[in-house]
Amino acid sequence: MKRKFISFFILAAALSIASASAQSDPREPGLYAVNGEESVPMTTVSAAKHSTSIGFGGVEIQKNKLEYKGVTSGTKATGKFVLVCDMEKKAIKQTFKKYDVFVQSMTPDNIIIIPLTVEKKKRVYDVGTSLNGINTERKERVDFTWEQISDNSYQIEAEMEPGEYAIVFRFARLDTFNFNTVFDFTVEAADGTLADTDTAE
């Protein structure tokens, strides 16, 4: 009888531990690129805004581009990511000094994935044009699906061609996205090579 009780207790404890681990992701809050069995923490890159203006007849047309250093990212991805949130933080800080977005209220509904174009020694995102100060935002996006996999994490999946991309988070309390600080990544071809790029000076 004592033996059965001990066996049951051990089984119950094991089930309890398994249940707890299934409910909460133990990783640090952040964004991770999932490549097979490997999970790689992603880092951010900051952009420098570059604009060119053309004016005639009282009309000013401005093209807005954001430039990110380097022709490729240090983060390689296959199109699967995990967003881990901090369940202790309920609000997003208004400042983005530390890109503090991994809070309870954050879900993949608050992100977009954008393609970047390689030009010379940098990656570029064409934000759009403005006519006399009125912006026309470019809407090129990468479609993705997501599901909640624990009480503090979400799995994100997208099918992408080889190339350069970035994950962009929505600004705190604003209906706009922070293109100035993004999580960049590279999708390599099946043979491990990069997409064709223009690396001329």
Cβ neighbours for 85, distance < 8 A, ≥ 6 positions apart: 29, 102, 103, 104, 106, 152, 153
Residue 87: pLDDT band (50, 70, 90) is confident
Higher pLDDT, 69 or 100: 69
Instruction: Give the per-residue pLDDT at 92.
Output: 66
Q: In the predicted model, is pLDDT for residue 13 greater than 90?
A: no
Higher pLDDT, 101 or 25: 25
Q: In the predicted model, is pLDDT for residue 83 greater than 70?
A: yes
Instruction: Give the per-residue pLDDT at 12.
Output: 33
Domain ranges of the chain: 27-187
Higher pLDDT, 122 or 65: 122
Residue 25: pLDDT band (50, 70, 90) is confident
Q: In the predicted model, is pLDDT for residue 200 greater than 70?
A: no
In the chain, how many H helices and how many E strands? 1, 13
pLDDT tens sequence across 142-199: 999 999 999 999 999 999 999 999 999 987 666 678 888 899 999 988 766 655 555 4
Is the model's pTM score more than 0.85? no
Instruction: Give the per-residue pLDDT at 201.
Output: 40
How many Cα atoms occupy the beta-carbon half-sphere of 35 within 13 Å?
Answer: 14
pLDDT tens sequence across 88-139: 887 766 544 555 678 877 889 989 999 999 998 899 998 777 666 566 666 6
Instruction: Give the per-residue pLDDT at 72.
Output: 94
Higher pLDDT, 23 or 37: 37
